[in-house]
Chain A
């Protein structure tokens, strides 16, 4: 066992790989060069378009023991990963690791293939049943959870080698030019697939919308694509993007959003050039709405909105409140529709978005980000991976990346969720270190991290309810009582990798 700087106990190695314990968010520096792959040559007249997925898998040279990847822009509507794994199984290939950008509940279909030995591990975080079963010891399948920026980093450094990337392409031509803007499975940005296209040893474009060459605009170019294959459908478009992302109507959520807006106002960052990121949750959108109002009233011209993009950000772009949107992932149809026609709505790769080991990621330019949490501890460490039952249920997404990059990272969360207090003495799992978190906003008050003393003083001056984080924890527990601790075994089933490749925490099997 080794202990990292947050006091988390880690194994010395995990499935044959050495574990580097987390030290601090900013100092680990990379050595060496970008990962490489074989050069290739395609002569005029060479055909990339293959008859079916099986032919593509055969052509890719995929063998037992290798690693594949897909992107999660089709989210819970994705059919591609399940399709690929079914075919791999039919071909008798085993012991495949999956390094997709995320796994969604729709991929519970993979469970029998894990049990059968077709899939032997995940080089990425998982949402839903797979993580739960792994946590309960019902599935034997190691998981390494990575942030969006960290996943890009791991491909670029070569820590994770993707042998074959299967890239779902909502619009694609027979030579592999593609974008996500148009077609029956349009998902907008293909931001998570860019590193796969550049670093995977073989790249297969999978499309349900093969159109005449050349497809434009070109998001991912023909020069990176080895094979193209047509399938009936990439997925269920109704689940690919939710048609409505809505501001919360819950009074508690709205109260949290109002406080968060007051924090942003007091921070002094809300001036011309302001840059901003929120998620698609109801509270995040309510904060965005407040920010939009403040910007309109004060006639502030922001510079950019960032991250996963919703229709609210599109409206703000069109109202002139931001000059640009940098979109790594579209959250709703309005965003998909906008990215296909508005030059100022820019597609952005996960590398550009959040990789700590390049010459500067977009998150470094963020003024403010609004993030969520399943738990927060009194040291401001945040958990988004495990739930109060100890099960690994959520992927990290860009959480740690945006928190590390932004000048002001705000966590919005209800102090009580169901009958549980959200602020704890220690979180079940650390996803994002407290040092990168500035403010916690709950409906019962706002806790400001010590390194933001000036902001704290300004909030107090403005009579915003600033509270000590320990006091908030005590208030929550007065209402709910002390929750019974979850019991774990010693067996580590997953690692939580920080964006720089060090391990910030380990997830252990829950004692049932």
Chain B
């Protein structure tokens, strides 16, 4: 699957100091997990958690999901030790907290390169997913989104963000609208994925469904999760609806017919089908394919025509 189209609907936090939960990482059906060495781990347990996560990752050979490790922030005295212990166990990437500006990403990028050279692995192996979780971070996120080739996306963090604004986070999330929109712009412009914040009330699945529907509409491609029970709801929301798939198939068929007739525009059910419509249809079909809902060859030439 091409890099930019890797499904990252659900990124599940797992505390790095809890063996019983780490042990179950292979069984959860989230697209990615983020093993936490930061907020979930008390200062006195940081050392033990690093060792534990290292041993877990070393035994987890048949990886069936992306593994990120949330290290401690670059303003702390923990993050270098986090990397030193964790990176040899080859996680897929690092979730970088408090990425208030591109400087933090660039600094991490440099250190990751050093480790890759030392470990003798391909430069660029370790991806970065920075957290945009302060007012400053939101303001700077457009530059941050372009600060490294290692970026797979930006992750919005509403808990710290609302704290930095000295406001309460509400269940309906009106206070987050502007920040979310800006994060999505930054990501789309840079060609990376936008990952939304956690939803902390694990017993309220309806509110989670509502929020996930909202952020999907805004342009986010996934969400950070705090409990495995949230995975199913998020996947359901992100799965393309059968009507969408059917329409997308019709669009592709229509545009193929148009190409045969030597044109790039055609009418389908009284509506004009042109390049942006086809592009959206292809995206839906690719998503459907990634969800295992359809099984077909998608031809890129459909959008652009023969060269």
Contact = CB atoms under 8 A, between A and B. Distances in A.
Contacts of A251: 24, 28, 227-229
A416 B23 contact: yes
B270 interface: no
B27 interface: yes
Nearest to A255: B27
A13 to B, nearest CB: 47
A252 interface: yes
B29 interface: yes
Nearest to A258: B232
A254 interface: yes
Nearest to B203: A249
B26 interface: yes
Consensus secondary structure, chain A interface:
helix
A437 to B, nearest CB: 22
A444 interface: yes
A444 B29 contact: no
B292 interface: yes
Interface residues of B, number: 12
A252 B229 CA distance: 10
A462 to B, nearest CB: 9
B229 A443 contact: no
A463 B26 CA distance: 16
A376 B79 CA distance: 45
A252 B292 contact: no
B58 to A, nearest CB: 12
A443 B29 CA distance: 11
A392 B23 CA distance: 30
Contacts of A249: 229
Contacts of A478: 59
Interface in B255-307: 292
Nearest to A443: B27
Contacts of B229: 249, 251, 254
B24 A443 contact: yes
B292 to A, nearest CB: 6
A59 interface: no
Interface string B188-211: 000000000000000000000000
Contact of B292 (A258, A443, A463, A479): A463
A478 B59 CA distance: 9
B60 to A, nearest CB: 10
A66 B84 CA distance: 74
Contact of B24 (A252, A258, A463): A252
Contacts of B227: 251
A30 B107 CA distance: 81
Contact of A255 (B23, B29, B59, B292): B29
Interface string A234-260: 000000000000000101101100100
A172 B16 CA distance: 60
Nearest to A478: B59
Interface of B: 23-24, 26-29, 59, 227-229, 232, 292
Given A251-B28, A252-B27, 4 more contacts: A251-B229, A255-B28, A255-B29, A255-B228
Interface of A: 249, 251-252, 254-255, 258, 416, 443-444, 463, 478-479
10 contacts: A251-B28, A251-B227, A251-B229, A254-B228, A255-B27, A255-B28, A255-B228, A258-B232, A416-B23, A463-B292
Closest 9 CB pairs of A and B: A251-B228, A443-B27, A255-B27, A444-B27, A252-B24, A251-B229, A463-B292, A254-B229, A252-B27
